[in-house]
């Protein structure tokens, strides 16, 4: 379904450039209020990350929602999964997060959660878009305007929720953890969670100033965490992204463990304890090593399209409870309804406690396959996914890789680029084969328009 403003994770872009402007945000709030409000003065939960532009967008959304009769509950800086949780806890009709996740400070975005704490269906987002572009007057009569409230105890409520997802008989006493909060929305949440569970916590990325979110820290910039873990001889490190829905971890040897490795640890632990409740959902980008390792453990695995909303859809279709992406979006559906970096990392720590092993020991059982990703820019009108020569070389490479490798061609949704991904056991072969496919695509694309 084609949408004008909403992407796979809400409306996102450069601040000050349409649609990330105050006038659009206010109109968006009005449209969403009209579509989703079921009751007079229904609640809408609004949280944000630490970007300076969050103040502007927060105020604009507040104006839009109150103008349609909804009553916004302002949380201030809060992780995305906290907004999802509190939307359910407050029985609100809608949750809103102002964040651009792992992007730099000059980007921002707005995404919505339903009353169930899940992302809105595509058809609902399309309905909101129609109202945004309509000429309809969306404001309610002045006597019916909503009122805004600020929820001062929101951080404490979410901290207790996170702790409740760690077994009551367990503690983290004796565990030294480095936390990297990306100068983002977890900066005042995550250190409290892990300290109150008994861990010795060393924090970095906990001094947000409005423009340093994800700046050299966080899950997309793990070097700072790796260096700190090694320098302090910590047992492990945990890195979140700017809005707290992704997590990466570093073991005591300084090795970065991505979402695939963490899902393997969680899945194996749950299978051992009879708590898995089905299989595991990955995406088209999930490392083949994870699929093969889960199969060896007798755990079923399926792939969805790339994007946590598609992981969620597949989980619901299958009735399973665990899925995610190698980027660190992990959904533990028995605890949360969206990716939650803190909750996911606690599941990994539970596994370490249950097996009485370190993160290094648990992850060493999974040897990731090398992956090569090449972005090839296409000339106008050329379709690499239907070109005969491209399909021929892909089939040839797949035969040569056999069962121990795979090829994925994927169109970019935002630019004229085809992403060529090859993975297999041998790094040199993977590199050579990816370049081989990319060269054919370039040749065919240029020939098509010569």
Residues acting as catalytic residues: 101
User: Do β-strands 200-204 and 176-180 pair in parallel, antiparallel, or remain unpaired?
Assistant: parallel
User: Coil, helix or strand for 106?
Assistant: coil
CA 355, 359, 360 angle in degrees (round to 5)?
A: 115
Q: Which of 69, 76, 74 is nearest to 38 (CA)?
A: 69
Return d(Cα 328, Cα 240) in angstroms, integer. 9
CB burial of 177-191 (b: ≥16 within 10 Å; e: otherwise) equals: bbbbbbbbbbbbbbb
- State how far the Cα of 296 lies from the Cα of 36, in Å rounded to an integer: 45
Residue 412 phi/psi, 5-degree rounding, is -75, 145
Q: Which of 47, 101, 88 is nearest to 329 (CA)?
A: 101
3-class SS at 285? coil
HSE of 165, CA atoms in CB hemisphere, 13 A: 23
Contact partners, residue 26, CB within 8 Å, separation at least 6: 60, 61, 63, 64, 67
Please, what's the b/e burial string for 365-388 (b: 16 or more CB within 10 A of its CB; e: otherwise)? ebebbbbbebebebeeebebeebe
HSE-CB of 173 using CA atoms within 13 angstroms = 3
């Amino acid at each position: 379904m084609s949408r004008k403003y909403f992407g796979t994770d809400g409306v996102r872009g450069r601040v000050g450039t349409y649609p990330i402007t105050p006038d659009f945000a206010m109109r968006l709030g009005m449209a969403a209020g009209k579509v989703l409000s079921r009751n007079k003065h229904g609640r809408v939960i609004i949280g944000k990350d630490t970007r300076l532009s969050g103040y502007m967008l927060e105020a604009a959304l507040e104006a839009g929602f109150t103008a349609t009769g909804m009553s916004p509950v302002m949380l201030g800086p809060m992780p995305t999964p906290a907004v999802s949780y509190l939307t359910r806890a407050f029985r609100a009709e809608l949750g809103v997060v102002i964040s651009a996740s792992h992007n730099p400070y000059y980007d921002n975005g707005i995404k919505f959660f339903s009353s169930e704490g899940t992302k809105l269906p595509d058809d609902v987002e399309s309905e909101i878009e129609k109202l945004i572009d309509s000429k309809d007057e969306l404001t309610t009569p002045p006597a019916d305007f909503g009122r805004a409230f600020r929820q001062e105890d929101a951080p404490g409520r979410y901290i207790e929720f996170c702790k409740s997802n760690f077994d009551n008989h367990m503690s983290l006493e004796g565990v030294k953890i480095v936390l990297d909060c990306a100068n983002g929305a977890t900066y005042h949440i995550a250190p409290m969670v892990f300290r109150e569970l008994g861990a010795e916590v060393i924090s970095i990325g906990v001094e947000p100033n409005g423009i340093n979110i994800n700046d050299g820290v966080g899950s997309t910039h793990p070097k700072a965490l790796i260096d700190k873990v090694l320098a302090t001889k910590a047992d492990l490190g945990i890195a979140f992204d700017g809005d707290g829905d992704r997590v990466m971890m570093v073991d005591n040897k300084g090795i970065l463990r991505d979402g695939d490795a963490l899902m393997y640890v969680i899945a194996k632990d749950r299978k051992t304890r009879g708590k898995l409740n089905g299989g595991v959902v990955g995406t088209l980008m999930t490392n083949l090593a994870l699929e093969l390792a889960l199969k060896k453990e007798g755990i079923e695995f399926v792939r969805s399209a790339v994007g946590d909303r598609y992981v969620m859809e597949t989980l619901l279709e299958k009735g399973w409870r665990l899925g995610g992406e190698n980027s660190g979006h992990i959904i533990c559906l028995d605890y949360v309804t969206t990716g939650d970096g803190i909750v996911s990392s606690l599941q990994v720590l539970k596994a370490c406690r249950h097996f009485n092993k370190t993160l290094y020991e648990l992850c060493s059982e999974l040897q990731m396959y090398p992956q090569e990703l090449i972005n090839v820019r296409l000339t106008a009108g050329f379709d690499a996914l239907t070109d005969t020569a491209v399909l021929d070389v892909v089939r040839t490479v797949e035969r040569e890789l056999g069962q121990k490798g795979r090829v994925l061609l994927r169109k970019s949704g935002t630019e004229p680029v085809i992403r060529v991904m090859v993975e297999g056991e041998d790094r040199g072969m993977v590199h050579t084969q990816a370049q081989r496919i990319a060269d054919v695509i370039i040749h065919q694309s240029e020939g098509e328009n010569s």
